[in-house]
Amino acid sequence: MKISIAQFKSELGAVEENFSTAARLIEAAKNSDVILLPELWSTGYYPTPVENFADVDGERTKKFLCAAAEKFSVNIIGGSVIVDSGGKIFNRCHVANRRGEIAATYDKTHLFSFADEDKVFSAGDKISTVELDGVKCGLAICYDLRFPEFFRNITLTGAEIIFIPAAWSLKRLMPRQILTKARAIENQIFVVFANSSGKSEIINPRGEVIAESGRDEEILTTEINLSERAEVIAAMNLLADRNLSVD
């Protein structure tokens, strides 16, 4: 599976400009199987009051992603955007498949209270997975990375790759790099992390960085071989060795 991360730092509140940038980068990565955008790419992280920038029911975002996915016959994991749904504001990820259909949505579950996300966003209450080209994929957003039980629950659904759009400060780069490796190793999965601030990365089930970006706008592309995951599990099946009597 050929995966591309469309890394860019959005202009705060400049929705039209950010949509144009996303369209340009999606076209540049059109020969991929899956394209991943960063967190809150359409607005930046995050303009206030958020309700003034919310996409009502995600309609504009969904139309944009579906049109691009169908045009280029590519799966797009649409990072996340501010969505007003039923009067509540969510940090929501939409996934468009090659046919130009919305195949999944996910609302950020763990809200970053240090940036007052819990005061302006409503938290999601369920995990979300999606099958892309026959591969089961899980979805997470930024701060979710710090919660290992959340990733374990996604893995237990059968997910082989977890995609993470983020707007993670490079001031906290070191712990984030440890966490992406840890989530990959402990769950024996691929982790794909798209960061608006730079240093996006793709991690294999051994915890090895197989692709890493710089700090500027970039298309980061690599081919992952899912048989590598099967090899890792065959050598040491961590999930099979869990002692459920103490979980």
Provide the number of structural domains found in the chain.
1
Identify whether the C-beta of residue 142 lies closer than 8 Å to the C-beta of residue 39. Answer: yes
State if pTM tops 0.85: yes
Write down the pLDDT at residue 120: 97
Residue indicated by tokens 């009597």: 245
In a domain, 246, yes or no: no
CATH of the domain at 204: 3.60.110.10
The answer to whether position 24 is within a domain reads yes
Q: Calculate ∠ Cα 108-113-119, nearest 5°.
A: 80
Question: Which among 132, 135, 136, 154 is positioned nearest to 145, based on CA atoms?
Answer: 154
Q: What is 37-67 written as a DSSP string?
A: --TTTTT-S--SSGGGG-EETTHHHHHHHHH
What are the pLDDT tens digits along the chain (247 aa)? 999 999 999 999 999 999 999 999 999 999 999 999 999 999 999 999 999 999 999 999 999 999 999 999 999 999 999 999 999 999 999 999 999 999 999 999 999 999 999 999 999 999 999 999 999 999 999 999 999 999 999 999 999 999 999 999 999 999 999 999 999 999 999 999 999 999 999 999 999 999 999 999 999 999 999 999 999 999 999 999 999 897 6
Task: Please report whether residue 140 resides in a domain.
Answer: yes
* Pairing assessment for the beta strands 81-85 and 55-56 based on DSSP bridges: parallel
Q: Is the residue at 242 inside a domain?
A: no
Torsion sign across C-alpha atoms 65, 70, 71, 73: positive
Residue range of the domain that includes 98: 2-235
**Residue 243 falls within a domain, yes or no?**
no
Domain membership of residue 142 (yes or no) is yes
- Residues designated catalytic: 39, 108, 142
Query: Does 240 reside within a domain?
Result: no
Task: Report pLDDT digits (tens) over 26-78.
Answer: 999 999 999 999 999 999 999 999 999 999 999 999 999 999 999 999 999 99
Q: DSSP assignment, residue 33?
A: S
Q: What is the reported pLDDT for 246?
A: 78
Mean pLDDT of the chain: 98
Q: Is residue 115 part of a domain?
A: yes
